[in-house]
Chains A and B, each alone.
Chain A
């Protein structure tokens, strides 16, 4: 509440903003209003986290950005999305990928009938820089995810959940994007791998200057690696701020980080199904 009222400490000039979402509204099926005016900015070379409970609209926001909404009978009815200074609402997803904005979808949408390696290759569909470069990139991804190398010839549909997740992230990286929209990258991954993945995110960000917009439930991790965060509730941004200040906010601590009175709560002690506290009435 207090933080929500503060003025935005968003980056200063418009030029170093790679993606900016202005007050968008999204409706599914012509009747279900899901986003009720969401605005956010991602600075060039930044990592921004999008936090919020289930059903808050994180995925919807990401899909609105990458233009995958209309295939689910949803549409952006208001507002604007600007990527690298140009409005992109009317671009097709593939034009957006060509411009360097790729989404990794929630729930590991691998191509089930293709092998892991073929999955990675399709990720490079929009690239025109020749076979050798693609080959090199595949090796790079195998370096990041050695498990994938072992399973390179396995049909993706039969690989384990975690393997599919890695495959999906690797596939997005194959497009050599400027910006990746990551939806729940940690879901279903072993703790070690989660750290690895965030590590990869960080190194991609630092070494290759890729910007990230990260929808994540694992607030702990997300706030550790992101520089800025937005909290979504019920289709609205209820709070935003840089990662450190969010992590220190009492409410965030209690509801998203599981720290009460300075120490970690045990899951055994969870109170009985408390109703979620709302920032907005």
Chain B
């Protein structure tokens, strides 16, 4: 009964098309933002920030990127890791060329490099579809991984083929490197993610988003109503890779503080794909849910035995954790194949008719 849209009339089409047309949703989002921007920085521990919140923000952004491509446009990609890597290495190069530039700006700009590379690997998408397209993106994944090692210029000829994130500032405050506090890094990551999420939701609600979904749902019909498939798919590749690139730069600069080719390997691609699927294909919100579940669950599981005062060997915990995560993935898929986002919607639906069953 509390969650009702009854009585909330929309008087203009603009209001009807707003991001959160329902008042309760707007309040909810405002509360979440308030907590995220104010409460968390005040109270969260370093561990919570560094190992939980920042990673989830980074991974969510990558998941949004992949979701734009796979969930909205229906193009399966297994090259996310590679595109993230492009972003990370681009950011590293940029900051070594312009050490004094605002690092936040550089992080965002490095997405452009990734978008360019992404578009190139999107070229075969006109001819190749479905799982077959996945091979093109896999080629991207492995080829890029190889480049990250074989082109020493990318990591400034470092002997270990790794990038080490130097201390860089924005507005005089250290944002990256060892001297940046977790809170700063968290707030920067949060701001980027919130802004880019907002942009992504704008895109998918507008003309471009509709053309993407049309191509996903039935490309032949889309073509016949005048959507140019090729352009649409390439744009999806470019924007998606842009998001992944920024996420990659954030991964190196705001989260791990160092990165190497292996940080962007195929497993990373799969991980992001799972987040998208578990969270819900074609749902921005789902990307967050997915990241929280896939990243957060193992952490919680690892902490669980200690919490209950049982001592279990680290390796056993790890093994059990694999089993539990695997089982839970299957469980969630069975409960709701359309992902956590749909589950959330159904919950809201139930809330709407509560206390009646339907």
A–B direct touch in complex (beta carbons closer than 8 A) = yes
Chain A residues, CB < 8 A from B349: 31
11 CB contacts below 8 A, A to B, read A27-B358, A29-B346, A30-B346, A30-B358, A31-B346, A31-B349, A31-B350, A31-B353, A31-B358, A32-B358, A33-B358
Closest to A31 in B: B358
Q: A27-B358, A30-B346, A32-B358 are in contact. List 8 more A-B contacts (CB 8 A).
A: A29-B346, A30-B358, A31-B346, A31-B349, A31-B350, A31-B353, A31-B358, A33-B358
Chain A residues, CB < 8 A from B358: 27, 30-33
Within B314-358, the residues touching A (CB, 8 Å) are 346, 349-350, 353, 358
A32 to B353 alpha-carbon distance, docked (Å): 11
Closest to B352 in A: A31
Size of interface on B: residues with Cβ below 8 Å to A: 5
A27 to B358 alpha-carbon distance, docked (Å): 9
State how many angstroms separate the Cβ of B355 from the closest Cβ of chain A: 14
State how many angstroms separate the Cβ of A77 from the closest Cβ of chain B: 10
Chain B residues, CB < 8 A from A30: 346, 358
A30 to B345 alpha-carbon distance, docked (Å): 12
Closest to A32 in B: B358
A33 to B356 alpha-carbon distance, docked (Å): 12
Closest to A29 in B: B346
Chain B residues, CB < 8 A from A32: 358
Closest to A33 in B: B358
Most buried by A among B346, B350, B358: B358
A27 to B349 alpha-carbon distance, docked (Å): 14
State how many angstroms separate the Cβ of B343 from the closest Cβ of chain A: 11
A31 to B336 alpha-carbon distance, docked (Å): 13
Chain A residues, CB < 8 A from B346: 29-31
State how many angstroms separate the Cβ of A173 from the closest Cβ of chain B: 32
State how many angstroms separate the Cβ of A157 from the closest Cβ of chain B: 13
State how many angstroms separate the Cβ of B333 from the closest Cβ of chain A: 12
Within A16-48, the residues touching B (CB, 8 Å) are 27, 29-33
A33 to B350 alpha-carbon distance, docked (Å): 13
A87 to B318 alpha-carbon distance, docked (Å): 47
A32 to B346 alpha-carbon distance, docked (Å): 11
State how many angstroms separate the Cβ of A234 from the closest Cβ of chain B: 15
A232 to B5 alpha-carbon distance, docked (Å): 31
A265 to B349 alpha-carbon distance, docked (Å): 44
